Structure 1
Amino acid sequence: MNRSSALLLAFVFLSGCQSLAPVSPDATSPVEDSTSAPEKPKVYSSFSEDTVFSLLSAELAGQRNRFDIALDNYVTQAINTQDPGISERAFRIAEYLGADQAALDTSLIWAKNAPDDLEAQRAAAIQLARAGRYDDSMVYMEKVLQGKGDTHFDFLALSAADTDQDTRNGLMKSFDRLLQKHPHNSQLIFGKALLMQQDGDAKEALALLEQNPPEDGEVAPLLLRARLLQSLNRGKEALPLLEKSIRKYPDDKRLRLTYARMLVEQDRMEDAKTQFSSLVQQYPEDDELRYSLALVCLEAKAWEEAKGYLEDLIARESHEDSAHLNLGRIAEELNDPQGALIEYGQVGPGNDYLPAQLRQADILMNNGRTDEAQKRLVAARDAQPDYAIQLYLIEVETLSANNQGERAWKVVQQALQQYPDDLNLLYTRAMQAEKRNDLAQMEKDLRLIIQREPDNAMALNALGYTLSDRTTRYAEAKTLIEQAHQLTPEDPAVLDSLGWVNFRLGNLDEAERLLRQALERFPDQEVAAHLGEVLWNNGKQREAKQIWSKFLKDQPDSPVLRGTIKRLTGSETL
């Protein structure tokens, strides 16, 4: 093609301004214009021959999937010409490709050279917000607001979620300033409510939304109200709000999905099942919904229904590993261990792989097939070397849980020969050493972990607890546990250890306070045994028996509880 022919073709092309590639509405959201008015014809300036040839080259490059060349040419010409049509085109390409800096630069050129184009002003506002330039973003979004265009103040608020407090405070002031001028603007009100939610002011955000009901067609404020009610432990109030909203907007997917999830959170599984079933019927191609429905059926113990949905997913080649994992769980619930093994064996590498390996090992060992379980884990390590350490840990833990302590010890020793610097394996060996009464080895491994990771709260707590429980080195134990407590003050395991060492030191009231906190956060048999023993020694034998009795109902054969009761009362029964 000669140069003059190329120029003629370029002029023909520019008059049509066709796309390089299809850009979905989501790709440009929230910049797209929501109005239904016909698009104004683009007006192009007179371009130099070099500019036209550069643009033609860009289009041809795009047709050959060389989007890097296309973008570079368009950005260059947007800068050179300052033409709104070219800068818009450059912006669309940059946004489609996820080229953030180019999208920002070209949106600003577009907005500058098309001051009356609300879409251009909105594009600049969105890109500035993405770049963290919130003050500048508000200037452009205010222009959209003044022009009565479709603003996206909610996007500005959401994009500030991970910023520092000073930035959010500045943005809040900008919202308040605009609300003084436009006190009833629903987008401003919604954006401010989002900022308040991010700052932990759920009550104030809820009050703001309740005082300013959304306009017809605005669903997002209703969803935020429901989430705020849920966060304030007023979830039961959220359900009627969502039910009313669903009646008003029966085809809104977000409303029904939020309603279904809140029903799950409130343990109303049958109602949740109904809602998810409705969603699946409404959106039959949405496999996320189908998988959610399967999980709700599992929670409701509707095994056959769950199986049906999971098998559908496998047939649709969607969520296959998760489906096989859950089919294995169903088989276990139905006392079909062989069926469970078949399902677990079909789970491939990914998030569900290790849980499937763990369940296989546990099933086999529980059925006396320990050798087979170990052979499978060896084969899994050979087949998936990236999971080798985790598979060693699974083997050790399942062997230990099935009273195969010697085998567990041999496996962890073998693992550490292969991976001598792995801290998880060192910690696991320390726990196995404690079970073998080899406290010297346990302490050696835990101190090595602490030397390498001084802020390893788990190792600090484990060493401190063992010293308080198995030795008389109470002061040293307390120092270690207090270090762990400073690192993880809400951890119930650390609170339990701190309570126990205080008991050993004779600080009964402090021990009781800490152990009550631990039991409230983590209702566990060992914590219950500890709290009961402290209460027993603090003159509260009746309450101690009540706590032990409560936990024995769930775990009647608990060796920790039975051992504590026998040691203190002389009998294993209360």
Structure 2
Amino acid sequence: MNKWIGIAMALCASGCAMAPETTPETATTISSQEALAARPNQNTVIDEEVLYLLMAAELAGQRDQYDLALDAYLQAAKRVEDARIAERAVRIGMFLKDGKRTREALDIWLSKDEKNLPARKFAVLLAVKSGDRESAVENLDAILLEDPAGFETGMLEMVKGLEKEGRLPFMDDVLNDLALAHPDDTGVLFLQAVVASLQKNNEVAQQKIGRVLELQPDWNKAIIFQAQLAGRSGDMDKAREYLQKAYKQAPDDKQLRKMLLEVLMNTGAFDDAIRLCQASLDENPEDGEMLFMLAMISLQQAQVDKAESHLEKLLGNKEWEAQASFYLGKIELDKQHADKALQWFDRAGAKGFGFDADLAAISLLLSQKDMDEVETRMGRLNSKYPDKHLRILLMKAELYNQTGRYQEAYDMLTEALKEAPESRDVLYARALVAERLGRLDVLEADLGKILQSNPDDVGALNAMGYTLTDKTERYDEAERHLQKALHLKPDEAVIIDSYGWLQFKRGKYELALEYLRKAYEKQPENEIAAHIAEVLWVMGKTQEAKDFFIGVFKRFPDDEYLLNFKNRFLPE
């Protein structure tokens, strides 16, 4: 459970928004309305020529003739003392991405108001965009000297904007230059840590944030960021230690409490997590978030009755009812109470949980083979969730797959790949359908593309290994894929099953049976059961194979894997 890491970064940025005129968006992709927002001081005394320039600029702006407006404001800015006219020219220049005239307007603005922080921030952005390292350092230094307390918070949003533009390496160099003049400034060090972290340089980030906390040990934002870095490196115990320290200093911080709760759950410290939730509920018994977290903790501990009790208390809470209904549905699904689960999923959807609830309901109906209801519900999805087009398409492909319409599924997924050629989910789905159609060339190509992007994709490794085992005699290749998958996820039942099937194909029946039974203990799926029955049969243990098979077949008489075994080995 690593969601808290993202929350930590958000918390680091909270309270850090710059004035509207200095956000990265307005500075790099400023809108036309924003470009014309900074109006001159109405009390400024201006002559007729300047008045004409301002009127011309205003009229040009209203007509979307921003190039003309910029020229007019720039000329006016040279003639009056009001720095706001130069500011307006800068904003329009940034909107037009006209570096030369923006630089000219900035020089005028700073000559009239050299301590103006928004002007300095615009100057930093312009310097970074043009690769002018010296100017960037000079203007950052001016901002730091003018506003040392607000330096770090004022710069964080700028850093986030520069990340989107791929300019962090340059900003890293600029901050390193600035740090030479201010080696013990915690704001500069913190920014260096953030920039290093965003570039995945965890070691440097930890070093910088460590120095920050040597200089300012009780700075909560830095402690939280240190916890984030520890979590990213996999040291959840350290992350927990840091967050507990931060929480002691700010026990009313709800976002921090949520982060600590998630880390406690992640590290298995359920008793501490429960105490933290309960302490909050003692203060506020109606705290829906804490009730929900208690439910999640109970589910983690397999205390389903307790989880249900907590979730049921949320059913009258407008903010949490939808989520509570969804998880109550998942609980009923685990109990194999399909009708009750469907009712909860529908309630969750009606209360605002939306797409996930609708998808869960459709998946449930698919498993029940209620294809008419599935098609009805699927037909409503595109209009309800136009932004979820790809996931809906994958669900439709699965519907076709379930109903044996493999060519339709294949064609749909092939079209989807034209829209999203790098989509792992679409490639994987088409590979599985291609196997049904006997298109092993497509299967290998699609899974190969996934593995080229991510050699540790366990699903693709297992699918490739199993298919090579089952459909070819390329057992050495299959073994390489499956051994790697097992190394990455040694307790995954489907991989253990695949590896057992490989041993069977190689004639190592005892070893195969050992792996297959281990897989079935972990996850009693019908395909694994069919594999066990076949291995027993081939080993000459026909009665044991029959007894085992019949026990499973009585419960799942329509399963395709079991039917396949029955037709091959137990024909009537």
With the shorter chain as reference, the TM-score category is 0.5 to 0.7
Residue in structure 2 matching 1:80, options 76, 80, 85: 76
Cα pair 1:450 1:459 within 8 Å, conserved:
no
Q: For 1:6-33, what per-residue CA distance to the aligned partner results, in whole angstroms no more than 9, with x for missing partners?
A: xxxxxxxxxxxxxxxxxx995627979x
What is the count of residue pairs matched by the alignment? 491
Are residues 297 and 193 of structure 1, via their aligned partners in 2, closer, same or farther at CA, if it must alter by over 3 Å? same
Q: Distance in 1 between matches of 2:434 and 2:382?
A: 37
Moved more, 458-467 or 155-164: 458-467
Matches within 5 A, 1:86-97: 87=84
- Cα distance between partner residues in 1 of 2:54 and 2:89: 14
CA contact (8 A) 1:156 1:191 kept: no
Shift of 1:390: 7.0
Partner of 1:37: none
Deviation at 1:168, TM superposition (A): 3.5
Unmatched 5+ stretches in structure 1: 1-23, 33-41, 60-65, 417-423, 429-445
Letter in 2 for 1:495: L
Q: Which moved more, 1:130-139 or 1:512-521?
A: 130-139
Unaligned runs of 5+ in 2: 1-14, 24-40, 550-572
Inter-partner Cα distance in structure 2 for 1:288 and 1:309: 9
State the TM-score, normalizing by the size of structure 2.
0.64
Q: 1:299-338 CA distances to partner (integer Å, 9 max, x unpaired)?
A: 56522223333531x2xxx477555534543555677655
Q: Distance in 2 between matches of 1:125 and 1:287?
A: 46
Q: 1:234, CA displacement in angstroms?
A: 0.9
Q: Aligned ranges for residues 382-421 of structure 1 at < 5 Å? A: 394=395, 397=398, 405=403, 409=405
Counterpart contact for 2:308–2:328, Cα < 8 Å: no
Q: Which amino acid aligns with 1:308?
A: K
Deviation at residue 381 of structure 1 after TM alignment: 6.5
One-letter identity of the residue aligned with 1:168: L
Higher mean C-alpha deviation, range 331-340 or range 562-571: 331-340
Task: For 1:327 and 1:88, locate their aligned partners in 2 and report how far apart those are by CA, in whole Å.
Answer: 60
Q: Which shows bigger deviation, 486-495 or 293-302?
A: 293-302
- Equivalent AA in structure 1 for residue 19 of structure 2: T
- What secondary structure sits across from 1:160 in the alignment? helix
Q: How large is the Cα RMSD of the aligned pairs?
A: 5.7
Aligned to 1:145: 144
1:203 is matched with which residue? 203
Cα distance change of structure 1 residues 457 and 339 upon mapping to structure 2, 3 Å threshold: closer
Question: For residues 257-268 of structure 1, what are the structure 2 equivalents within 5 Å?
Answer: 257-268=258-269
Residues 53, 210 of structure 1: CA spacing in aligned structure 2 closer, same or farther, 3 A cutoff?
same
2:162 paired with 1:160:
yes
> Aligned letter for 1:262?
V
Contact 1:499 1:511 survives alignment (8 Å): yes
Code of the aligned partner of 1:80? A
The 2-side partners of 1:79 and 1:323 are apart by 62
Q: How far apart, CA to CA, are the structure 1 residues paired with 2:324 and 2:81?
A: 51
Report 1 or 2 for greater relative contact order, CA contacts < 8 Å, sequence distance ≥ 6: 2
Conserved? CA contact 2:151–2:187, under 8 Å: yes
Kindly report which structure 2 residues correspond to 1:127-276, keeping only aligned pairs within 5 A, or say none. 127-128=125-126, 135=133, 136-147=135-146, 149=148, 150-152=150-152, 153-164=155-166, 167-213=167-213, 214-215=215-216, 218-269=219-270, 271-272=272-273, 275=276
Partner of 2:499: 531
Compute the displacement of 1:256 (Å): 3.0
How far 1:297 moved relative to its partner?
6.3
**Is this contact kept in 2: 1:295–1:306, CA < 8 A?**
no
Q: CA deviation at 1:154?
A: 4.2
Write the letter of the residue equivalent to 2:144.
L
Secondary structure in structure 2 of the residue aligned to 1:311:
coil
Query: What is the Cα deviation at residue 226 of structure 1?
Result: 0.8
Distance 1:358 1:427 in 2: 19
1:241 positional shift: 1.7
Check if 1:550 corresponds to 2:518: yes
The equivalent of 2:482 in structure 1 is 515
Residue 137 of structure 1 and its aligned partner are, at CA, apart by 3.7
1:426-456 Cα deviation digits (max 9, x unpaired): 357xxxxxxxxxxxxxxxxx7x988999877
Between 1:375-384 and 1:131-140, the stretch displaced more is: 375-384
**1:382-428 deviation digits (Å, cap 9, x = unpaired):** 98596899778757746976xxx4xx64xx89xx6xxxxxxx56357
SS in 1 for 2:183: coil
Deviation at 1:363, TM superposition (A): 5.0
Q: CA deviation at 1:551?
A: 1.6
Distance 2:357 2:281 in 1: 27
**Is the alpha carbon distance of 1:277 and 1:159 closer, same or farther for their aligned partners in structure 2, counting shifts above 3 Å?**
farther
Task: Assess if the C-alpha contact under 8 Å between 2:86 and 2:108 holds in 1.
Answer: no
Counterpart of 1:112 (choices 106, 110, 113) is: 110
**How far is 1:120 from its partner?**
4.0
